[in-house]
Structure 1
């Protein structure tokens, strides 16, 4: 514990918090004010800390004249489908690891978690030729399946930690009443596991939504691009550097994640802490 009884300690603590807050939130502040500046003000040699003539020109252009809505829809489809798939797989895998004892259970779980030790770019070297052999390159299905490597290991372990705390007596009582294992899982375990399920879904969705490397590599058609490559290739490329449009597009692209956390933060916090205390 820090001793904050002295004035010097309190002053140092407040200054440290202000420094950390500035470090974390200043880029977000600059993103917002840059999206509200016109091009003439945006490219001044001496930048202005506050827009002198705020404008929504970049937002209007991004939504009406560009392909941003299409990129957003593609990201919603791929990220949502991938998050659903990861959540379902992690549910069954986590419950299996937590409540069943069979040969190879721990090595399989450790093998899954070991995938997090490698950079995602290295895993892409193996995924790309596999997608080519399955004719899944430049398809949304191929991108959805490739996103599994992002979140499945961690999601499985999160649900494993939660399911380990589910009382065995509850499951044994249901078995004594004649319920099958699948019925116990679907009607008893899943209804009491909403917070960790929401946490896993949001975690998977966030990873897929923020991806740039996999979507740029697997998807080549412009009509199937997600928000990351769409913003990069539209506003920042070899012939164009529209920083105002890029800032506005980035703010618009962050809206789905922000809204998801606003409405589901209660479940997210409960899911993160679930299984932490026995």
Structure 2
């Protein structure tokens, strides 16, 4: 373990931390700066790091266009629905893997986790004809269902790691009292597993919110577009490069995720670390 008591160790740790923070934070700083720059400052040979004449015109144009609220609403519906469905399905699957012993349990769990090995573009090749056969192409429901592929395997594994740490005596006591398995799950296991459930829900929400490939492929109607495709199709293209408006819209589109993470950060961290600690 690194000994931070010496001055050289603290200096080395500080320099390393500052380097990593600068590398990760510079794109965010550049996005903020570009969002507040007028067009004359963006398209120059040597752009400045900070805007010389800050303006809110990019934000006024984005908010006043009428399209961004529609895209945000579509993203909230699809990402929120995907987070809810993923959390419910992952809870049921993880409970089955953690509490029951049946033939093929380990193989089934390994098969589910192995889905993470394939690129999402490969999974889209299989999803597209399935949604087409079901009549769910170019619909919010179809896009929401496709997002389950992103987070369900990882969400199931995270909740499995959480559920196996719960005291078996608590479950057996409920069974002795005559409680059914579903009642045990929803009245005993779920209330004490809030950090794990929040982690899975936020993980699924962020995956769906940041998606571009599936939304671009499965949705073609402009009024059903989510934030990613909407910004790409409206602000950036072969004949238009409005980087100021694109950066301003990206900042506005990032607010729901930032707010959600800020509200549930404590449970999110607990849920992530729970599977790594033996109870």
The answer to whether the aligner puts 1:236 opposite 2:236 as a matched pair is: yes
SS at match of 1:161: helix
* 1:253 aligns to 2:241 (yes or no): no
Which residue matches 1:55? 55
Kindly state the Cα deviation for residue 11 of structure 1 after the two structures are TM-superposed. Answer: 3.2
Deviation of 1:3 (Å): 4.2
Name the residue aligned to 2:201: 201
Distance (Å, rounded) in 2 between the aligned partners of 1:82 and 1:115: 17
Matched with 1:220 is 220
Post-superposition offset of 1:275: 2.7
- Cα deviation for residue 20 of structure 1 reads 0.9
Q: Give aligned pairs, total.
A: 278
> 1:63-88 deviations in whole A, cap 9, x for unaligned?
11241110000000000001100000
Q: What TM-score comes out, normalization by structure 2 length?
A: 0.97
Query: Which deviates more from structure 2 when the two are superposed, residues 36-45 or residues 144-153?
Result: 36-45
Deviations 1:158-177 (A, max 9, x none): 00000001111111101111
CA RMSD of aligned residues (A): 1.1
In the other structure, the counterpart of 1:167 is: 167
Are 2:98 and 1:85 equivalent residues in the alignment?
no
Closer, same or farther: CA 267–67 of 1 in aligned 2, 3 Å = same
Give 5+ residue unaligned stretches, structure 2.
none
1:113 aligns with: 113
Once the two structures are superposed, the pairs formed by residues 66-105 of structure 1 within 5 Å of their partners are 66-105=66-105
Correspondence list, 1:29-40, <5 A: 29-40=29-40
Helix, strand or coil at the partner of 2:190: helix
CA distance in 1, matches of 2:3, 2:24: 25
Q: How much does 1:6 deviate?
A: 5.1
SS at match of 1:147: helix
Ranges of 4+ aligned residues in structure 1 off by more than 6 Å: none
Confirm or deny that 1:146 pairs with 2:143: no
Deviation, 1:15, is 2.0
Please report how far the alpha carbon of residue 51 of structure 1 lies from its aligned counterpart in structure 2 after TM superposition.
1.0
1:53 CA displacement: 1.1
Aligned-partner Cα distance in 2 for 1:98–1:17: 39
Unaligned runs of 5+ in 1: none
The structural deviation recorded for 1:214 is 0.3
Q: 2 CA distance for matches of 1:16 and 1:84? A: 39
TM-score, normalised to structure 1's length? 0.97
Could you tell me how far apart the structure 2 residues matched to 1:44 and 1:192 are? 56
SS in 1 for 2:261: helix
SS in 1 for 2:204: helix
Deviations 1:202-245 (A, max 9, x none): 00000000000000000000000000100111111111110001
Which region of structure 1 is more displaced relative to structure 2, 4-13 or 192-201? Answer: 4-13
Distance 1:177 1:35 in 2: 61
